[in-house]
Amino acid sequence: MHGNLSGLRPAQKKSLENLYRRRIEPGRLGSPELVRNLAELAYDVRREVGVLIDRRGRVISVSVADAKATAFPELRMGENRLSGFHLLHAHPKGGALSKGDLSTLFLKRLDAVAVIEVGQDGRPGLVHAAHLTPPGSIGEEEDWRILPPVAPFEVDAFDLGAQVSALEEEIARASRTRAAQKERERAILIQIDQGEFDAEDRLDELGELARTAGAEVVWRELVYRRNLKAGTLVGAGKLEELTSRAYHLDAELLIFGQELGAAQAREIEAATGLKVLDRTQLILDIFALHAQGQESRLQVELAQLRYMKPRLLGAGAQLSRIGASGGSASSGAIGTRGPGETKLELDRRRINDRISFLEKQLQAVATRREERRKSRGRNDVPVISIVGYTNAGKSTLLNAFTHAAEEPRRVLAENKLFATLRPTSRQGFLSGLGQVVLTDTVGFIRDLPADLSRAFRATLEEIGDADVLLHVVDASAPDFEVRLGAVERILEDLALSDMPVVIALNKADAANPEALRRLQERHGGVAVSALSGLGLSALKEELVQAASKVQQERAAQEVAAQQQAEQWRGATGLD
Ligand SMILES: Nc1nc2c(ncn2[C@@H]2O[C@H](COP(=O)(O)OP(=O)(O)OP(=O)(O)O)[C@@H](O)[C@H]2O)c(=O)[nH]1
Ligand SMILES: [Mg+2]
């Protein structure tokens, strides 16, 4: 027996205990006797009394509590079926089905919920019942259908068994058709709006990230919340609404635009029965998908482990969920993909070992690169590093610049975020300057997850080896200004903001001319289209100027250094 039993007399407890012995005809809501019995007991103890009945008509749990607090056995949640139980309970204060009754029906996937009104004299009044409607049902306002109330002696008239099989049949059919059509995970996106001016753009960006990760976005929502709830972030009511949304849209994935703490993710997962991811996990997942080459794989795995480590403390189900996937980058569910050879071993005892192993490996890679760099010396060929927000068109521009029309030399450019993770250098030619080296690199994003920026630090710092930065801006993005700022902030963090920069306002072909003009007024830069070739010669000229200036300065510095050395030799009389 469950619920609030305090203050009950032994005789009352005994009568409640006896409920376990009741049986009703299978496929019925209840029997007139059970209804009478429940009403009397609720009247007697002045609390709600409910029984959970299985499909064989047996009482499997008795609770002195309202529907929400009723004790449920381990339910077969997440399957495309109902739970196989229905709840029959008595409200001593009278009243029909409450909001709590109905949401319990929905969240626990009950076969039905029924409530018995209890009269002043403890006699049963009307019985109200409701059952779920099939997912995606058209014309149904709610997730449930409320049946017309019946008198207590008519309670066994309703054919619950037939209703349940019809509904389960419909659920199964719907899920079969969808499974046949469905190739990608269906996701619901939530961006919390706390009054940021770019909340809408963040939601758009989250959509792009989700698409790149291979999800199909079936619903997206900006949720305005001044104050966030500690556990559920958006509040239990909102989560209930989202659960219902997911049920009807057949979504299995809930993606939040803000970073979730471990406990939050678990609580939201438990409340909705959905798989929950945050933006950082999504970005990590995309990195894992796109990582090629030893170094990026190590970097991504390190970032993933660092992100997961604090989240594994005290994790139960979630741990096994993530750990179970392991696997390669190309297969597996979103948010669970690992970067390559080694499976993500999420054994808590081994995670630290693995992290320090990866750190050592990366250190070794960095040292080797540093040695190579030194042995190469400063060569006279100017190096231009292409930087910018992800998907701005950096790789496309590199291709356009280096006439890499020939397939094998072409770098990958596509409408995906973080298509490029590994720095790629190509020889180019700028008339007036001669040979140059152009380097394409990983794109930036606002609020770059700290674990990622730490793991990619070496790659990012390499940008500093260049003579000139070519900052590519997507001028067709509605929030180019924010993106431009985000890139500048990251450059600052990398102590690279003093480097000479040429700005390319790319995608001019698709940009709003007025916005482009404003952008140009405020930040300078050359309007180009890497796709059509528009403005490329003007951009080349700018680059030649910037690079020549750097070369001249460097030459002047060398001369000055030489002079100083000579002076010093003269002053000391040494030769
Ligand atoms: N309309 C238009 N689209 C462009 C232009 N330049 C690039 N694109 C498109 O923008 C998308 C991204 O291009 P990429 O070159 O891969 O961008 P990126 O900056 O290298 O992106 P990441 O490596 O993912 O950070 C592709 O679909 C390109 O075709 C342009 O001038 N005009
Ligand atoms: Mg790229």
Condensed to tens digits (0 to 9), the pLDDT of residues 441-486 reads 888 898 888 888 888 887 788 888 899 999 999 999 989 999 999 9
Q: How far is the CA of 421 from the centre of ligand 2 (A)?
A: 8
Most confident of 241-250, 416-425, 562-571: 241-250
pLDDT digits over 94-134, tens only?
778 888 888 888 888 899 999 999 988 889 999 999 998 87
Query: Using a 6 Å cutoff on CB, does residue 531 contact ligand 1?
Result: yes
Is the pLDDT at 267 greater than 70, yes or no? Answer: yes
Ligand nearest to the CA of 391: 1
Domain ranges of the chain: 2-179, 182-377, 380-557
Is the pLDDT at 407 greater than 80, yes or no? Answer: no
Query: Using a 6 Å cutoff on CB, does residue 253 contact ligand 1?
Result: no
Least-confidence region, from 302-316, 331-345, 406-420, 457-471: 331-345
Q: pLDDT at position 426, please? A: 83
Ligand nearest to the CA of 390: 1
Q: How far is the CA of 181 from the centre of ligand 1 (A)?
A: 30
Task: Map 427-455 to HEC letters.
Answer: EEEECCCEEEEEEECCCECCCCCHHHHHH
User: Exposed, middle or buried by CB within 10 Å (0-12, 13-18, 19+), for 378?
Assistant: exposed
Query: Using a 6 Å cutoff on CB, does residue 419 contact ligand 1?
Result: yes
Q: Which residues surround ligand 2, an ion (CB under 5 A)?
A: 394-395, 419-420
Per DSSP, the three-state class of 187 is: strand
Ligand nearest to the CA of 388: 1
Identical fold for domains 182-377 and 380-557, yes or no, is yes
Ligand nearest to the CA of 474: 1
Q: How far is the CA of 455 from the centre of ligand 1 (A)?
A: 25
**Tokens coding 427:** 């020889």
Q: pLDDT at position 346, please? A: 53
DSSP 272-314: H-SEEEEHHHHHHHHHHHH--SHHHHHHHHHHHHHHHHHHHTT
> For residues 574 and 157, which has the higher predicted lDDT (pLDDT)?
157
- Sorted by sequence, the CB contacts under 8 Å of residue 339 that are 6+ apart come out as 287, 288, 291, 296, 297, 298, 300, 301, 304, 329
As a whole number, mean pLDDT of residues 541-563 equals 89
pLDDT-based confidence at residue 344 (cuts at 50, 70, 90): very low
Least-confidence region, from 71-75, 244-248, 451-455, 564-568: 71-75
The CA-based angle 288-202-529, given to 5 degrees, is 80
Q: pLDDT at position 315, please? A: 46
| Residue with CA nearest ligand 1 atom 16 | 413
| Residue with CA nearest ligand 1 atom 27 | 415
User: Exposed, middle or buried by CB within 10 Å (0-12, 13-18, 19+), for 412?
Assistant: middle
> For residues 247 and 480, which has the higher predicted lDDT (pLDDT)?
480
Q: pLDDT at position 416, please? A: 81
Q: How far is the CA of 507 from the centre of ligand 1 (A)?
A: 8
Per DSSP, the three-state class of 217 is: strand
Average pLDDT along the chain? 84
pLDDT digits over 218-231, tens only?
999 999 988 888 88
> For residues 200 and 455, which has the higher predicted lDDT (pLDDT)?
200
**Tokens coding 442:** 């990983």
Q: How far is the CA of 217 from the centre of ligand 1 (A)?
A: 22
CB 213 within 8 A of CB 282: yes
Is the pLDDT at 180 greater than 70, yes or no? Answer: no
CB 233 within 8 A of CB 192: yes
Q: How far is the CA of 389 from the centre of ligand 1 (A)?
A: 10
**Tokens 């050592």 label which residue?**
360
Q: How far is the CA of 395 from the centre of ligand 1 (A)?
A: 7
Q: pLDDT at position 323, please? A: 36
Task: Give all strands of the β-sheet with 186-193 in edge-to-edge order.
Answer: 216-224, 186-193, 253-256, 275-278
Q: pLDDT at position 521, please? A: 93
Q: At residue 528, what is the residue type? A: V
Round to whole Å and give the CA distance between 279 and 284: 9
CATH class belonging to 182-377:
alpha beta
pTM to 2 decimal places:
0.73
Task: Return the CATH fold of 380-557.
Answer: Rossmann fold (3.40.50)
Q: At residue 359, what is the residue type? A: E
Per DSSP, the three-state class of 4 is: coil
Give the number of other Cβ atoms within 10 Å of residue 239's Cβ: 23
Q: How far is the CA of 425 from the centre of ligand 1 (A)?
A: 17
Most confident of 128-142, 225-239, 286-300, 509-523: 509-523
Query: Using a 6 Å cutoff on CB, does residue 27 contact ligand 1?
Result: no
Q: What is this model's ipTM? A: 0.99
Least-confidence region, from 389-393, 414-418, 473-477: 414-418
Query: Using a 6 Å cutoff on CB, does residue 347 contact ligand 1?
Result: no
Is the pLDDT at 420 greater than 90, yes or no? Answer: no
Which one, of 442, 435, 438, 416, lies nearest residue 425 by Cα?
438
DSSP 380-434: SS-EEEEEEBTTSSHHHHHHHHTTTTSGGGPPP--SSTT---S-EEEEEEETTTE
Q: pLDDT at position 113, please? A: 94
> For residues 403 and 341, which has the higher predicted lDDT (pLDDT)?
403
Which one, of 530, 415, 416, 550, lies nearest residue 472 by Cα?
530
Identify which of 208, 287, 391 to mutate to test ligand 1's pocket (most ligand atoms within 8 A of the CB): 391
As a whole number, mean pLDDT of residues 424-453 equals 85
Task: Map 90-108 to HEC letters.
Answer: EECCCCCCCHHHHHHHHHC
> For residues 348 and 536, which has the higher predicted lDDT (pLDDT)?
536
Q: pLDDT at position 457, please? A: 80
Ligand nearest to the CA of 506: 1
Exposure string for 24-52, b = 16+ CB within 10 A, e = fewer: beebbbbbbebbbbbbbbbbbbebbbbbb
| Residue with CA nearest ligand 1 atom 2 | 507
Query: Using a 6 Å cutoff on CB, does residue 509 contact ligand 1?
Result: yes
Q: Work out which ligand 1 atom sits closest to the CA atom of 392.
A: 19
| Residue with CA nearest ligand 1 atom 25 | 390
Query: Using a 6 Å cutoff on CB, does residue 536 contact ligand 1?
Result: no
pLDDT-based confidence at residue 326 (cuts at 50, 70, 90): very low
Q: Calculate what percentage of the chain has a pLDDT beyond 70.
A: 88
Distance of CA 266 to the CA centre of its chain: 14
pLDDT-based confidence at residue 75 (cuts at 50, 70, 90): low
pLDDT-based confidence at residue 217 (cuts at 50, 70, 90): very high
Identify which of 292, 396, 536 to mutate to test ligand 1's pocket (most ligand atoms within 8 A of the CB): 396
- Sorted by sequence, the CB contacts under 8 Å of residue 202 that are 6+ apart come out as 191, 196, 257, 446
Query: Using a 6 Å cutoff on CB, does residue 391 contact ligand 1?
Result: yes
Q: Work out which ligand 1 atom sits closest to the CA atom of 534.
A: 31
Q: Work out which ligand 1 atom sits closest to the CA atom of 419.
A: 24
Exposure string for 307-328, b = 16+ CB within 10 A, e = fewer: bbbebbeebeebbebbbebeee
Round to whole Å and give the CA distance between 110 and 415: 44
